Structure 1
């Protein structure tokens, strides 16, 4: 014969429901972190693209200013920080970073005239 506590399963459904709820919250939290990191990467990529285009315009003389200074201003206007800027003639390569939680999303972009074929 089994002991009385073994036969009485009252409350087992509550424990199971609590376990399922904890698992759902954990998975949802992880998914939100991944989606947020992806959004930060997209923001960094957009900021890098626009900063490279602005710097290339400055390098070619279409607008006034120093190319890397222009890139920094454009990146900052798009919520990112300029991590690197390299100019070779009228071709400019920039790297922008965007913070997310404790990490930084980083993206690079290059802009300038097309290479001759």
Structure 2
């Protein structure tokens, strides 16, 4: 069995969050198994209530899936608006990416996913 990574997009606009997650899921099709995730706004959201969209992505037992997921997420994150945040969760551990540069985002996501790589 593999590891499921939950990817959550947080945005003030529910339509934008939903559209973003649907776009990501389409980009993942054919390479990864995905499943819907019931979502609520993550703890610590400041200001107005935030909308979230989420998808769970399966990483198979072979380690080759991590670099592919990193590449897809990096490309996808690069096209998101600056007011959005993305939270990745594996089990009880999470990492949140928001105002980081593209290189910082890539490094954070890669390090996080590699720690949880199925082997």
Would the TM-score normalized by the shorter structure come out above 0.5? no
Bigger RCO of structures 1 and 2 (CA < 8 A, at least 6 apart): 2
Give TM-score scaled by structure 1 length.
0.27
